[in-house]
Amino acid sequence: MDFTVLSLFPELMASFFEHGMISRGIEKELIAGHCINIRDFSTDRHNTVDDRPYGGGSGMVMKPEPLKAAILSAKKRAPESQVILMTPQGTAFNQKKAFELASNNEGLIFVCGRYEGIDERIYTTLVDEEISIGDYVMTGGELAAMVIIDSVARLIPGVLGSCESSKSDSFVDDRLEYAQYTRPEAFENSKVPDVLLSGNHEKIRLWREKSSLQRTFLKRPDLFEKTVLSAEEKTILMQWCQEIEALVRA
Ligand code: SAM
């Protein structure tokens, strides 16, 4: 999977591509990261990439010509790539969208805005999709691109190490992930649940299923509206209700 980021601050992205899981994925040649400086495509001697908005108002707007040239240059290397504009006005990014983008084998091109954003004519002609990482406004699209690339790259087979896995992650099945414990067995009067030390795989699976349901119920009940409860989930939740009832009556 090829990730190309068009930005006025490509050095921000370069450092992102040089660390952690992303750099390991690049070393293994499972992913590739490219940065393109939009300023390299300005055509005047001052390297101008922005101008005042028509109609007046504060701030500057990114000019269409350098942006178009930068997008076309990225597309020359990967013609079938999907062009994604980072904007607070786009579709909200989530795990489902991460899976969808990870299945795009052709590559992704991220256009990062700065200032007041980019000229409207780029949205309408060269962008395939607009994505937002949340209902807040940042000064630039680079952090948004990093968020998306990070969550998409870890879904590409082989990018996560053999002992890491994305299968049970939160949001994968519209549930939060179960509680996790590691050594030591006892920490400040709190012990790891016995079942996790039992070696009984079926009991551990059921405990994790219950933990996942409890956490989802307590922290993100809205997720239950997205999928129907399975028969096993219903049984586990019923048992939990009975346990709570017994506690209340005691
Ligand atoms: N004036 C624009 C508006 O109100 O919609 C916001 C422009 S913002 C200051 C500059 C750039 O930051 C945007 O072009 C976009 O690339 C990026 N950006 C800011 N917030 C974002 C968000 N929540 N998600 C994705 N990109 C964002």
Question: Is the residue at 10 inside a domain?
Answer: yes
Residue 175 has pLDDT above 90, yes or no: yes
205 in active site: no
- 243 part of the active site: no
Position 166 scores a pLDDT of: 82
In what helix (H) or strand (E) does residue 37 lie, and over which residues does it extend?
Answer: strand 32-37
Q: Are residues 86 and 209 in the same domain?
A: no
Total number of domains constituting the chain: 2
- Do 85 and 207 lie in one domain? The reply is no
The residue out of 109, 133, 153 marking a domain boundary is 153
96 domain-assigned: yes
For residue 237, the cross-strand partners are: none
User: What is the pLDDT, as a whole number, of residue 163?
Assistant: 60
d(CA 136, CA 173): 26
> Are 191 and 123 in the same domain?
no
Q: Averaged over 62-75, what is the pLDDT?
A: 98
Lowest mean pLDDT among 108-122, 158-172, 209-223: 158-172
**Residue 156: is its pLDDT beyond 70?**
yes
> Per the domain annotation, does 227 fall within a domain?
yes
164 within some domain: no
Q: How far apart are CA 73 and CA 218, in angstroms?
A: 48
φ, ψ at 195 (rounded to 5°): -60, -35
Task: State how far the alpha carbon of 180 is from the alpha carbons of 161, 171, 187, in Å.
Answer: 18, 16, 14
What residue's CA is closest to ligand 1, atom 23? Answer: 88
Say which CATH number the domain at 201 has.
1.10.1270.20
Let me know whether 239 and 148 are in one domain: no
Count CB atoms within 10 A of the CB of residue 111: 28
For residues 123 and 111, the answer to whether their CB atoms sit within 8 Å is no
Q: Is 128 a catalytic residue?
A: no
Residue ranges making up the domain that contains 111: 2-153
- Say yes or no to pLDDT of 167 above 90: no
In ligand 1, the atom with minimum distance to the C-alpha of 132 is 24
Residue 118 DSSP one-character state = B
Task: Decide if 162 is inside a domain.
Answer: no
* Same-domain status, 33 and 120: yes
Last residue of a domain, one of 153, 168, 202: 153
Distance between Cα 78 and ligand 1 center (Å): 25
Say if 177 falls within a structural domain. no
What lines the ligand 1 site, CB under 6 Å?
86-89, 112-114, 116-118, 132-134, 136-141, 144
pLDDT of residue 162: 67
> Is the domain of 129 the same as that of 207?
no
Does the residue 166 lie in any domain? no
Q: Are residues 131 and 7 in the same domain?
A: yes
CATH code, domain carrying 92: 3.40.1280.10
Which whole number is the average pLDDT over 163-172?
Answer: 82
Active site residue 10: no
**Average of pLDDT values for 190-210?**
98
Tell how far the Cα of 213 is from the centroid of ligand 1, in angstroms: 35
170 domain residue, yes or no: no
Share of the chain above pLDDT 70, in %: 99
Confidence class for position 164, pLDDT limits 50, 70, 90: low
Q: Which ligand 1 atom minimizes the distance to the CA of 117?
A: 14
* pLDDT more than 90, % of the chain: 94
Angle 10-17/20-27 helices, nearest 10 degrees? Answer: 70
